[in-house]
Amino acid sequence: MDTKILIVGLIAGLLVGAGAGYGIVSFQVGTLQAQVNTLKNQADLVPTLQSQISSLSSDKTALQSQVTTLQGQLTTKTNEVNVLQSQINSLSSQISTLQSQALTKDTEIANLNSQINIMKAMLPPLPPASGEAGSSRFFPASIGTSITTTYVRGSSDTYTAIITVLEVIRGAQAWNMIYAANQYNDPAPVGTEYILVKIRYNYVNGPTLENLDRFTFETFSSTGVKYALASIIGPEPLFSASIYAGNILEGWAAYRVTTTDLKPVLSFGVDYKGEGGVWFKIYN
């Protein structure tokens, strides 16, 4: 009796355990089935994912090609920038050099302008453009031209005279005439020569006796340098006498000029500043 009961209990236990095991297995089977379904669903997505992967790979390849192209362009642009920078540096260097040269030229120009101004200050004033014959050393009266002049002696005495240079002889002929006049006359120093001027002085009006000789006149070079009078005795008739108004004195006056001065002039009545008076050519 007990044995039967034991067997029945054992069988019952086995059945109960089997049912429980079945339940557990069924649950696990369901779980596995759900996982299988999930995997199937995921497997269905594989072609889509593969297509996306292929598309992305294609895009990647395209982007890599673009990157390569852009890198090449960047390298080219970098080279161009380097070339341009080198040119800019070269131009900057040239500009600096030119600026330095410009400063040097400005300094040279300033120095030249300064020298020009100094030279301008040293130059004599330009002669007048026009003037009456005999009015100045720039417009001396020609040989044979008579000039009427009114001048003052002393404080207020006024005189009037008509002066004419009649003839001019210079060089060897003048020396021969001077030597013949007085053999104690010295030859002209080297670089100079004698010049003889025949002067007519018509004393028109004046209150007193007028004392005249070669010292009454002065000689100037063509550039305006006053000549010193030479200590010589000229040929007859000498321009030397004292006369009253209404008389004429005519004679030779001897002077000395440089041989290279081709256009010396004779003056009368010039003041201490070298102004005024009348002027005559003593050259042909």
Which band of pLDDT confidence, cut at 50, 70 and 90, is reported for residue 272? confident
Give the pLDDT of residue 195: 98
Q: H helices then E strands: how many in the chain?
A: 2, 9
Structure tokens at 198: 């025949």
Residue-range domain boundaries for the chain? 1-123, 146-281
Give pLDDT, residue 283.
97
- At 160, the pLDDT band (50, 70, 90 cuts) reads very high
Instruction: Categorize the per-residue pLDDT at 190 as very low, low, confident or very high, splitting at 50, 70 and 90.
Output: very high
The residue that leads in pLDDT, 168 or 8, is 168
Architecture of the CATH domain 146-281: Sandwich (2.60)
Range in 44-53, 180-189, 263-272 with the lowest mean pLDDT: 44-53
Q: Which residues contact 136 (CB under 8 A, 6 or more apart)?
A: 128, 279
pLDDT, residue 223, reads 94
Flag whether the pTM goes above 0.75.
no
Each as own residue / partner, the long-range contacts of residues 242-245 (CB below 8 Å, 24 or more positions apart, any chain) are: 242/209, 242/210, 242/211, 242/212, 243/203, 243/209, 243/210, 243/212, 244/203, 244/206, 244/208, 244/209, 244/210, 245/159, 245/203, 245/204, 245/205, 245/206, 245/210
In terms of average pLDDT, the best of 57-66, 130-139, 214-223 is 214-223
